Amino acid sequence: MELVVATKNKKKLQEIKDILKGLRVEVSSIADYSGSPRIIENGLTFKANAVKKALKLARFTRKLTLGEDSGICIDALAGKPGIYSSRFSGSDKSDDKNNAKVLRLLRDLPLSKRKAHYVAAVALADKDGLLKVVEGKCHGRIGFESRGTSGFGYDPLFEIPRYKKTFAELGENIKHKMSHRYHALKKARVIIEKYIEKHNSG
């Protein structure tokens, strides 16, 4: 069975593949389907965007599809950048520019005021419609500078207090056992397994 992931982000796709390792599915992505529809992420929540991605691509491919939307919410910024995480620095966005903007906005704040959490919403759909949408979170704080070379997005800033290291310093092995995406995909995995079982027995 094939699982189509509604993303063109190669790093995110690889992370999803790593976390779902062992599932009896072949994981592909929107990049493998020419002429696939453009998906405009204009939902007001992570879940709304994830559902939109999953439904639109499932209708196009007629296959089991996973839509994911994620971002970082910073307490001192009233939850921003939130759903705008990937484009926080504007139309000329990049991970480095997004991180630089966050550091600039928080520059006068002590560590105790730099709490943040990552959120990931994962939606599963097939040609008949939405199957389920689940969410995962991971709590931490924003460091004072970018540290580490692993991961992507805000990983060089997002520090896990008990390790005193950022996701980018901890690396995939530790991150993939505790991240927001891990917690969401752990729930999604159960749904996918039941779906495979049902369709293989049918």
Residue 128 designated active-site: no
CA 89, CA 91: separation in Å to the nearest integer? 7
CA 92, CA 202: separation in Å to the nearest integer? 49
Q: Is the peptide bond before 81 cis (omega within 30 degrees of 0)?
A: yes
Q: How crowded is the C-beta side of 109, counted as CA atoms within 13 Å? A: 19
The Cβ of residue 120 has, within 10 Å, a number of other Cβ atoms equal to: 25
Residue 59 structure tokens: 């209708």
Residue 116 structure tokens: 């943040």
Cα separations (Å) of 199 from 10, 20, 193?
29, 19, 10
Q: Which residues pair with 140 in a beta bridge?
A: 116
Catalytic residue (one of 18, 69, 92, 126): 69
- Which among 132, 126, 93, 118 is positioned nearest to 9, based on CA atoms? 93
Catalytically active residues, by annotation: 69
